[in-house]
């Protein structure tokens, strides 16, 4: 069993995923959590990261830090998405190894899998064919992180494990329409359209792609599961095992936000990968399973959004 006073460094502890991990560990009685804001520690700076890890001497590192965004951001900033993510994760992984840290949890994304891989996505499909072009820069960076952790397991026998979540959403999500993912972007669009006399909402693509979504608190529970257990393999998918069309997602969010206007689909915009459903049998077999279904999670997220809506009004659509 992991001791409650184990020193755990959560990289990216102020982000949506990192903050959920911090809340979950605190609720479980962990008392020795550490983090560093981007103002105090630039994870892209190798020397700064090495000095921080050497000074703080954590027992465990959880890497929830990344430069993230949707299709628009990935298309517009490919160099930043591949380079900054590689800098962040490589600095953390190598510094942890050099400092003798035995346990490292690396968080990635389902976009590491090939665009047209068989569904549902098994861990074995990694590197079997071409990636989705609209997010390959981010995907390639994350693949290198997975492989670095696998190499450390193989060469040094340390408990470095990679968790690949499906599409995450929840409290503290990014609602900036220029950089956000599909679910929070839809939520903001529907809310603001409702406030504007239920104006029509235009959404990207055809609405036909299938996507799977996981509430961020469930992801945090999966991280705690990996923390408190020694997982026998190097790579695990984290998800619900259930997907729906983007059109169905839009209709669900529209209902929860109370928007009653028209939905317009702009088919001139890209759809992205046709389907991304995770095979989560490996984690299920070990004993982890999600608890929050999609509609409940969207309601929880919208409740949080309404409490913080004034924070987003300064960011124009």
Which helix H or strand E contains 11, and what residues bound it? strand 8-11
Per-residue pLDDT at 317: 41
User: How does pLDDT run across 107-122, given as a tens digit for each residue?
Assistant: 999 999 998 899 999 9
Indicate whether this model's pTM tops 0.85.
yes
- Which CATH superfamily is 8-173+212-242+276-293 part of? NAD(P)-binding Rossmann-like Domain (3.40.50.720)
What is the residue extent of each domain of the chain? 8-173+212-242+276-293
Per-residue pLDDT at 297: 98
Per-residue pLDDT at 313: 64
Maximum CA extent, the chain: 61
Alpha carbon distance 170, 295 (integer Å):
12
Q: Using 70 as the pLDDT threshold, list the residues of the chain that sit under it.
A: 312-317
Which residues have a catalytic role annotated? 138
Q: Cis link prior to 20 (omega < 30° from 0)?
A: no
Report the first-to-last Cα separation within the chain, whole angstroms: 48
Which positions make up the binding site for substrate?
189, 204, 211, 271
Average pLDDT score, the chain: 94
User: How does pLDDT run across 139-189, given as a tens digit for each residue?
Assistant: 999 999 999 999 999 999 999 999 999 999 999 998 988 778 899 999 999
Per-residue pLDDT at 190: 98
In this structure, the dihedral spanned by the alpha carbons of residues 14, 276, 291 and 123, taken in order and rounded to 10 degrees, is: -90
């Amino acid at each position: 069993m992991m001791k409650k006073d184990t020193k755990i460094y959560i990289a990216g502890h102020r982000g949506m995923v990192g903050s959920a991990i911090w809340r979950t560990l605190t609720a479980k009685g962990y008392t020795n959590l550490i983090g560093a804001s981007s103002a105090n520690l630039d994870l892209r700076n190798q020397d700064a990261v090495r000095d921080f890890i050497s000074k703080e001497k954590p027992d465990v590192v959880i890497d929830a830090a990344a430069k993230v965004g949707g299709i628009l951001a990935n298309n517009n900033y490919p160099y930043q998405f591949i380079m900054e993510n590689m800098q962040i994760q490589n600095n953390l992984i190598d510094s942890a190894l050099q400092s003798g840290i035995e346990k490292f949890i690396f968080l990635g994304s389902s976009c590491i899998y090939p665009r047209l891989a068989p569904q549902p996505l098994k861990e074995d499909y990694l590197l079997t064919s071409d990636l989705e072009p609209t997010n390959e820069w981010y995907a390639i960076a994350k693949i290198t992180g997975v492989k670095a952790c696998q190499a450390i397991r193989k060469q040094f026998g340390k408990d470095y494990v990679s968790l690949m979540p499906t599409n995450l959403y929840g409290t503290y999500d990014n609602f900036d329409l220029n950089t956000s993912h599909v679910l929070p972007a839809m939520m903001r669009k529907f809310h603001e359209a409702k406030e504007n006399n239920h104006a029509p909402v235009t959404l990207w693509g055809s609405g036909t792609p299938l996507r799977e979504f996981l509430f961020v608190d469930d992801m945090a529970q999966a991280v705690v599961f990996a923390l408190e257990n020694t997982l026998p393999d190097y790579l695990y998918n984290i998800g619900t095992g259930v997907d729906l069309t983007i059109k169905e997602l839009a209709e669900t969010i529209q209902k929860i936000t109370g928007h009653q206007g028209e939905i317009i689909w702009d088919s001139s915009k890209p759809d992205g990968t046709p389907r991304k459903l995770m095979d989560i049998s490996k984690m299920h077999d070990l004993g982890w399973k999600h608890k929050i279904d999609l509609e409940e999670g969207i309601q929880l997220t919208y409740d949080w959004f309404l409490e913080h809506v004034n924070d987003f009004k300064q960011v124009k659509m």
